[in-house]
Each structure stands twice: as C-alpha cells, then as structure tokens.
Amino acid sequence: MNPATVVCLDLEGVLVPEIWIEVARATGIAALARTTRDEPDYDRLMRERLAHLAAARLGLRDIQAIVAGMAPLAGAREFLDALRTEVQVVILSDTFYEFARPLMARLGWPTLFCHRLDVDDAGAIRGYRPRLPDQKRRAVEALRGLNFRVVAAGDSFNDATMLAAADAGVLFRPPPGVARQYPQFPVASDYAALEAAIRAAAG
C-alpha cells in the first residue's frame, strides 16, 4: 500500500464491541444500549446516557470495571497489526480516554483521538468535553491538508462525515438503516473484505 496513506478507523463496532451496549447488559439499564447507530445526534445521546447514570448512581469506576472485562472483536488485533505494518493508522472515536485505556492496551496501543469526561471528586460523571465539534471529519481534513491520502472506515451515523471527507470511505458491518442512508459507501462484512477495500483505495 502507498506509505503516504493514513487509514482512519472508528473504534466501537469496528475494532471493539459497543461500550455502552456492554454497560447496558452489565447494569440492566436497557436505555443505555442506544448508540450512534440508533441516534444521529451525539450530544442528545450523551445527555441521555449521563442522566441514566446519575439516576442509577453509577460513576466512572463502575463503567471502567465493565470496560476492563471487554475484549476486541475477534480478528481485530490481527487486522490492525497487519495494517500498521504498511500504513499509518489513527483511531477516530467518540468514546472517552477515561474508558478506552484497557481496550487500547489489548489492541497494541494504536493512536487514539477521542473525547474527555468531566468527573467530580466522588467519581460521578458530570459531563463530557468534545475534542472539537465533528472531530472525526476535521481530523480527516487536517490529514489531507498534510498531503496524506486518507481512507476511512466506520459503522454508524456519526462516521458519515468522516467517510465523506476522506479520499475513500468504507462502511464496516453497518446496521441496515445506516447502509441505506449512505449507499455511496461500499460495505465490508469482515476484516478480509475491509482490508481489501482499504488496499484498493490506498493505491
């Protein structure tokens, strides 16, 4: 692949399971299973999540304990390791550094751009601090401005602007509603197909 290519990957749903779905299963709060696959408005989704956590008196340590028991998706580490031998890879995610550390360790510490949480002294999550509005798209645009060719892959509504801003975008195992809304992006159903699509786009 062209070494002047940067591959930008979403995290949840592409390399690891959806963190909030795992939190919903562990806590029994079904409403926390809603993700950006269901709700395109990320701020609305986060405000709903934080309200549910506050009502259940769940704090950062509770979520971190759940994430500590999670593992990458089957084949994700191998896919990522192979990709990083040929091109630069950046993970662009709407998760939070306070959640992601165990998963980054299991993926071999790839570069991760994401958000931060506001946590009080008692460990309650009071809010969140986005890195930038639409940070995935803006990261891709910045990389292209540095004269890199960018190939992006994601699975949800919140990945669409990132995919559109890249030289080439690929949907990875998207839900039907996402695939229908963005038919301009090819769909990969497994890591072999995703790698093939990235190779074809990287040149």
Locus of tokens 């301009």: 184
Which residues are bridge partners to 84 per DSSP?
Answer: none
Name the pairing type of β-strands 149-154 and 5-9: parallel
Look up 38 and say whether it is catalytic: no
| CA–CA distances in Å: residue 131 to residues 31, 39, 128, 196, 203 | 25, 20, 10, 31, 31
Strands of 40-148 (E only): list them: 88-96, 111-119, 125-129
Cβ atoms of 174 and 187 closer than 8 Å:
yes
Whole-angstrom distance, CA of residue 191 vs CA of residue 61: 32
Whole-angstrom distance, CA of residue 163 vs CA of residue 92: 11
Q: Which amino acid is at 67?
A: V
Look up 10 and say whether it is catalytic: yes
Cβ atoms of 175 and 159 closer than 8 Å:
no
Catalytic residues: 10, 12
